[in-house]
Amino acid sequence: MPDFKDRSAASEADFVIVGAGSASCLIASRLSQQLPNHRILVLEAGENLRDDPKIQTPGLSPSLMSDPVYDWQYNSIPEPRLNDRIVKHPRGKVVGGSSAINSHSVVFPNHEWQDRLVEELLPHSAKEDWGSQGMRDCYKRWQLESSESRLHASVEFLDHIKVSYPRALDSLQSRWMEAFEELGHATKPTGFTESSAGAVTVTNAIDSSKGERSHAGTAFLEPALERGNVVLKTATKVDRIVFDEHLNTEGKLVAKGVRYTHQEQEYLIRTGEVILCAGVFESPAILERSGIGCRKILTAARVPVLYELPGVGENLQDHINCGLSCETREGVHTRDEALRDPEERNAASMDYEQNRRGRLSEGGAYSFAFTPLQMLETSSETQILTNIVESHVKEEHNPSLKAQYSVIQKAIESPNEATATIFMLPLQRHRDTDSLPKDTPRYVDGNYVTVVAMLAHPFSRGSCHIKSGTRHHPEICFNYLSHPLDTEILARHLRLVERLFQGPTFTAITKQNGKRLPRSFPYPILSLEDAKNILPVNAATNYHPCGTCSMMREDLCGVVDERLIVYGTKNVRVCDASILPIIPRGNILTAVYAFAEKAAEIISRKAQRDLSSGKKE
């Protein structure tokens, strides 16, 4: 094993991994085991806050967002169809990335989504690695239920994220399952499976044996650092990739190193391969600063064009959602008391400090459902929408979008695939404060149950680009609801939520004629127009940005190929949320971990071939 652990000033490494986020930490862990004689350097712009109680405590995750200690505080430009609101996008500023500050829920994609990515967007040769069968183990390998860790801790000696279910279902969580069973949709197991409509209780990324968050930094990178061939360097801002002056024999750029800044000093680290894991906003920015991207963008930023790749920074997607809240009957306890009452919060903190139990030891959302519109719509209502979708897809002339929209269209037409993922929160949730007078209180009186509809596969696309050759945050524009189909589909799901509220289960737990939220529309939704009018003031992000370095064919404006190598380069890869070409139906972190598992397989496979052929001494 190389003597690399104590070489903090090392000037070269076999692999330089940019970023210490969710994908990076996993890749470093796997490579450190599978390639013990290779030197791996991880460069992270944030800090390593290993024992920070705010990160460790699951129930404190909302306090991490917008706190500059933990959050890079990215913002969109004003979004026209959200009444020109600027949308905040928290990204983790610590080792572990956004897995260290997110809200824990573990929701998986479906087999059909995974297979269609290959069928529609990648060459046929990608099927073995990236089809649902080739990815099945990748979705399992990174996680372990914490209650079973003793039984399976020795499985392949791999590092894992610990996940857990709630210690016991509360009354609202139990009713959630009942609400869908009475609709004829039996509860299905969660995980990476074929699609089926209905409710699920999902795990959260929490080690229930400790009552603590389980994130990529502690689960993957910490044990990797102990193996001696991985070095972590924090407070390190990567400026750009440095390429050889001459192309190789295949006409490709060859990265020879990475230029970064640490404590206001510039350094160059030489490497055999660069793996960008800097996240959906920074990975494309680094490529652009390195001279890879759209010629127009690079010229405006005064960056010399080394390889024109117009997909860099494009295809930005996010899950947009909208919720409705109903006041609950007396005796139905929610978390609204803690929102308003400092004594409730103090009692919860005391319980957690003494016992690692209670509200602060668990995540915010365990109750989810995969909802096709066919679930609560009439056949004629569904047919109207499918006709509208078919018309829009036929009229799309952009080859990349047409291929992506074809994938989404198939999901919409399926009675089993979710057009929205909906979830229940045991508290009030409303996002219309900006449309109300400035002195409007943040919270309202009463206890509430909220059901949120999250658009599974939006049609709208945005972008993320550097504004100049500097290291400032890139300009981020999501173009939320810019495609008319997003409004059509999400509004229909709000109507579906209203129909769910009118069912026996929810009428038994909500007050008759009780208060409703959002405050700007405190009434039941009676029409599709009602639902559409709510969206501009109450729609919000689920903090799932992806797509800016998409894994697609280059003729479809892809940025990386099926080996995750950036087009036009020999030895630069990207692996983080930016490579997801179409956003999956649920929280994207499960896909990020799974894609990172596959990346580690691909990288190790190549390195071992190189060793056997004598390319590396």
Please name the residue that has the structure tokens 């940005």: 545
DSSP 100: G
- Tokens representing 293 are 């991207």
Element (H, E) at 535: helix 528-538
User: Which distant-in-sequence residues (6+ apart) come within 8 Å of 374 by Cβ?
Assistant: 197, 382, 415
Parallel, antiparallel or unpaired: strands 40-43 and 230-233: parallel
Q: Is 163 known to sit in a ligand binding site?
A: no
Percent of the chain that is helix, strand, coil (3-state, to 5): 35, 20, 40
Cα separation, 381 vs 453, in Å, equals 18
- Residue of 36, 31, 28, 29 lying closest to 3 (CA atoms): 36
Closest CA to 166 of 214, 196, 211: 211
- Is residue 369 within 8 A of residue 356, CB to CB? The reply is no
How far, CA to CA in Å, does 603 sit from each of 28, 62, 255, 564, 597? 11, 36, 16, 9, 10
Comparing C-alpha atoms, which of 540, 598, 499 is closest to residue 133?
Answer: 598
Reduced to 3 states (helix: H, G, I; strand: E, B; else coil), residue 615 is: coil
Backbone angles phi, psi at 515, to 5 degrees: -70, 150
Block residue for tokens 């039996």? 186
Query: ∠546-550-556 over CA atoms, to 5°?
Result: 135
Cα–Cα distance between 115 and 174 in angstroms, integer? 33
Alpha helices, DSSP H, located in 148-307: 149-152, 171-181, 216, 222-225, 282-289, 295-300
Report the alpha-carbon distance of residue 249 to residue 253 in Å, rounded. 10
Does 94 show up as a binding residue in the annotation?
A: yes
For residue 481 the two structure tokens come to 């609801």
In whole angstroms, how far apart are CA 454 and each of 52, 424, 520, 539? 31, 11, 20, 9
568 C-beta neighbours (distance < 10 Å), count = 18
> Could you tell me which residues are annotated as the binding site?
94, 238
> Could you tell me which residues are annotated as the binding site for FAD?
94, 238
